[in-house]
Amino acid sequence: MKQTAIKVGLFGIGLDAYWPQFDGLEERLKGYMSVVEKRLLSFGADVVNVGLVDNVDKAFEAGSIFRKQDVDLIFLYVTTYALSSTVLPVVRRAGVPVVVMNITPERAIDYKSFNSLGDRRKMTGEWLAHCSSCPVPEIANVFSRSRIPFFQVTGLLAEDDMVWAEVKEWIEAGRVAAVMRNNRMGLMGNYYCGMLDIYTNLTLQCAVFGGHMEIVEVDELSSIRKEVTPDELEKEVNRFHEIFDVQPDCSKEELYRAARTSVALHKLVDKYKLGSMAYYHKGEGNIDNEDTMSSVILGNSILTGSGVPVAGEYEVKNAQAMKIMDSFGVGGSFTEYYAVDYTDDVVLMGHDGPGHIAIAQGKTKVRPLQVYHGKVGKGLSVEMSVQHGPVTLLSVVETAEGKIIFLVAEGESVPGPILEIGNTNSRYRFSIGARKFMEEWNARGPAHHCAIGTGHISSKIRKLGSLLGIDTIQVC
């Protein structure tokens, strides 16, 4: 999957009055900063390093640089005691989230060696090289009184896997926030009539996540289908056979019909530079549109598996959830409850329509359906299970108060019998059991769809929520 780069600002803080008083202190702290910069670069971030900010003039200059460079996230490395007046101008001017790095160079001061220095000035300089924790309460107070959200990473500069795992997650969360801020979601068709839970406030979605909602017409997709060349058609059918496990009962006619729509879908996505899409349309009474919308599943599955997640039933909130999961590199397949297996204590979940074929257990099967239940027409569909192993569920929930929250659960995709009905279908086990999971999940009032990705990434989603000002609720 294509990874969007994140640009982060880095600055350290100190006090210029110290440098003439304590030989080598400034250079030592700059050396620590270079360690931090190398770590940030190793996590794939573009780093704008303005160095040690040790007076107010440098603070205003640093804030301007970060603003001009359009950084997505700031890391404030607290090297020693510093005045909060050297911090606030930087962060206010930049106007982006800030992570305070309260990390010390060593696990503990060597007290015996320290106390044997025999020179109070040297002793004080040594102490100042270790007192990164000292100004953090001052900085926190000023940020709080200034209503500036801030986040903390606390620990050691070296030999502290927990610190750098946290930093890496903040960078990943910041990158996904940037993806969402720049994402263009295509909205094609209309809501599935009567599903009141999936209706959403599009302005609220843009206000919270950023991005752009592009209204695209089914009629345009139908028009593009007519322009697909025989060569494009043959190539797409061949691609189907490479990507999917096409079952013997899939007719040539249906494969070519789906291929024509798949080519058209990719052209539509390219034209409007879409990064995700929500769709639904019956097309009833319009032969061209009905033919189009009854043959989109394979094309939309390929799009979903290649970085452009597509949500059916015009589920905008779930298209957002799927884009988030996909941007974290873990998939994000469209799903809902199917049934419960109380014997094995698992929940059967899946959905009709496109699946995230990049996270399938084995090759995704293509099967013909004589009827799309609850929808118009017939055609080809995909059947897959999400890879066995740890999974995370994400729902983007719109509350009665007009807020957006993240609802998260961690579980496991487990092997076992599934319903071979030509839809996505998986078996999920949760640490709190199937009954408790469903009750806890439903109690938070999500829509009946969610996105499922591989791995346990709730801590990353929580960090993303913090950066976006979204509360995260985790049920297990």
Q: What is the pLDDT of residues 287-317, one digit of tens each?
A: 899 899 889 999 999 999 999 999 998 999 9
Query: How does the average pLDDT of the chain come out, rounded?
Result: 93
Q: For each of the domains in the chain, give its residue range(s) and CATH number, in order of start.
A: 6-180 (3.40.50.10940), 183-474 (3.20.14)
**pLDDT of amino acid 1:** 41
**pLDDT of amino acid 34:** 95
Higher pLDDT, 216 or 160: 216
Burial of 252 (0-12, 13-18, 19+ CB in 10 A): exposed
For 395, how many CA atoms within 13 A lie in the half-sphere containing its CB?
25
CB 278 within 8 A of CB 315: yes
Task: Supply the Cα-derived Rg of the chain in whole angstroms.
Answer: 26
Residue 201 CA to residue 204 CA, distance in Å, equals 5
The residue whose two tokens read 């052209």 is 267
Residue 131 has pLDDT above 90, yes or no: no
**pLDDT of amino acid 126:** 78
Residue 75 has pLDDT above 80, yes or no: yes
Q: What is the mean pLDDT of residues 64-92?
A: 96
Residue 316 CA to residue 404 CA, distance in Å, equals 13
Residue 150 CA to residue 100 CA, distance in Å, equals 7
Residue 3 has pLDDT above 60, yes or no: no
CA pseudo-torsion sign 425, 426, 432, 433: positive
Token output for 61: 């200059």
Residue 106 has pLDDT above 90, yes or no: no
Residues 428-456 have pLDDT tens digits of 999 999 999 999 999 999 999 999 999 99
In which band, very low, low, confident or very high, does the pLDDT at 60 lie, cut at 50, 70 and 90? very high
Q: What is the mean pLDDT of residues 371-389?
A: 79
Residue 28 has pLDDT above 50, yes or no: yes
**pLDDT of amino acid 455:** 97
Residue 137 CA to residue 134 CA, distance in Å, equals 7
Considering only CA atoms, which of 424, 400, 397, 390 is closest in space to residue 320?
397
Residue 85 has pLDDT above 60, yes or no: yes
In which band, very low, low, confident or very high, does the pLDDT at 117 lie, cut at 50, 70 and 90? confident
Q: Starting from the edge strand earliest in sequence, which strands make up the sheet with 276-280, in order?
A: 212-216, 184-189, 276-280, 310-311
Considering only CA atoms, which of 394, 460, 392 is closest in space to residue 169?
460
Residue 421 has pLDDT above 90, yes or no: no
Higher pLDDT, 1 or 69: 69
Query: Helix axis angle, 252-272 relative to 230-243, nearest 10°?
Result: 100
Q: Report yes or no on whether pTM surpasses 0.85.
A: yes
Residue 284 CA to residue 257 CA, distance in Å, equals 18
**pLDDT of amino acid 95:** 94
Burial of 20 (0-12, 13-18, 19+ CB in 10 A): exposed
Cβ count near 42 (within 10 Å):
11
Q: What is the mean pLDDT of residues 178-194?
A: 94
Token output for 399: 């509350």
**pLDDT of amino acid 391:** 97
Residues 365-379 have pLDDT tens digits of 998 877 665 556 678
Residue 52 has pLDDT above 90, yes or no: yes
Token output for 56: 């107010």
Considering only CA atoms, which of 151, 157, 130, 128 is closest in space to residue 139?
151
